[in-house]
Amino acid sequence: MRFRWLVLLASTTLLSTAGAFSTPEISTSNPLCINDYPAERKLRIHNDGNFNTSEDATEDRGVSGSTVETLTNAFKLTDELDASLKAGKSADDVFKLLALDKAGDLLANPKLNEWITYMKAFNHKTPAERTTVIATLTAHYGDDGVAKIVEAAKQVRKTAGLAKRVQAEQTQRWLVDGKTPTEVFKLLKLDDAETQLFAQPQIVTWAKYFDDFYKINPKEETTLFTFLKPHYDQATLAHMLITAEKVPTTKNIATRVQAELTSLWLTDKIQPADVFKLLKLDEIGMSLLRNPIFNAWVKYTDDFRKFHFGTKLTTISVLGKFYQDDVLAKMILTASKHSSTSKIARRLYTEQLRNWFLSKFAPEHVFKLLRLDQADIPLLENPLFNTWTKYMVYFSDLRPKEDVSLLTVLGKVYKERDLSQILVEAYHVPRTKDLATNLLGSQLDRWLVAKKDPVEVFYLLRVEGATAKDVRKLLYNKYRYNFAKLPRENPVRSKS
């Protein structure tokens, strides 16, 4: 069973080795690709590691460079190169003469084709000094340089086919020489890359060699994660993998290592809260939901819950260990305004409402959790006020018999006089005027039902000193008018 967490796309289902490191098919338009040869020859090496490195055996394994060399069968030497051959100039001398040792785009350079033709002629004429394409390239560019050239060429359609052939011969050369993945890792100078490991083009070549080596030596087989583990702590490696997953050339490698790392954490029952701290997500602050590492952590939390069936933790419950409810609510609201984070924001918003309900929090309790009674922002203008009213709706839908109307709950938080003042102030703000008007009207209706004495209402609305057009005066006059229509009986006074 494979689990996805650090991968932001649909799945971490591991691709086969061929699929994971394959490149586009060779283009027939490539002038170097005259004949339709297979991209790689199947290497025949016994699993016991007893390599036959004789010339015949080498040729049989395709290490001689023939898969590249045969691409130039139709070409003939130029007069200049023919003269060089007669003069006994080595293939290496001509390589320099053609300035191929300084070529920026070597595999796309038409002179490479001329040189391969020359090399074949030289090998035929002087077998004692016989060389190969890969041997010459390595001598001039080093193993790491050749790997970089290959990976760059694989990204260009017209040179992709040739690049695959060169890569195959480089890999087979190492296999015949019995190079271990550790030795090749150093040859490609990946041991010096530190946290930029996956930014090195040659990492793809190494990963392919890693697989080829353990196909031949299955008894020694290990995993990419096991190999990299001594070089990096888990937090650093996790960050590196998340970055590498976004790059097409390293996505498959990153996916694979991520799956291995995740599997280890799940097996060891590493709690999502511990992974949160391991990834240093607790140090990010309000921009948490915009961080790609956060998405990876959310997926790990989901996988943990699936792997350890019966676990009741949720993403929001784990986040609650690091952030207060009001802070989380603000993060979610901010994230909901951006297309890149709106999806995760919707999910966390729903989880937060459900978590409050399952925790048996009454609306007035959530009001205080959101610190709406302590905020400097006027109540109805506070963005979290909307979050709270949504929870009231959520709560009411699940408990329809309870009175959770807005005024009822606000009346449990504020004294009537204070609530009236809040609503009057909101009346004067254009974007909250309609809601304030409705609430003030409902408040008058409640007072009428309770038959509050107009004198008390005068006090509750703070009418003293108000002008004739002041909303407080208008509300009071309306109340007096409606109160006068009530059946005569002794008015009820209440303490406020």
- Name the pTM for this structure: 0.69
Which pLDDT belongs to residue 67? 57
Within-domain flag for 471: yes
Over residues 377-435, the pLDDT tens digits come to: 999 999 999 999 999 999 999 999 998 899 999 999 999 999 999 999 999 999 999 99
User: Which residue range is the domain that position 422 belongs to?
Assistant: 414-496
Q: Quote the number of domains for the chain.
A: 1
59-101 pLDDT, tens digit each: 334 334 455 665 555 467 888 898 989 999 999 999 999 999 8
Could you read off the pLDDT of 178-197 as tens digits, one per residue?
999 999 999 999 999 999 99
pLDDT, greater one: 295 or 19: 295
Q: What pLDDT sits at residue 13?
A: 30
pLDDT digits (tens, 9 = 90+) for 195-211: 999 999 999 999 999 99
CB atoms within 10 A of CB 434: 11
Q: What is the pLDDT of residue 489?
A: 65
What pLDDT is attached to residue 79?
Answer: 85
- Provide the pLDDT for residue 47: 38
In the structure, what pLDDT confidence band is assigned to residue 331 with cuts at 50, 70 and 90?
Answer: very high
Residues 60, 437: Cα–Cα separation, whole Å: 90
Would 478 be classed as within a structural domain? Answer: yes
pLDDT of 38 over the 80 cut: no
- Inside any domain, residue 470: yes
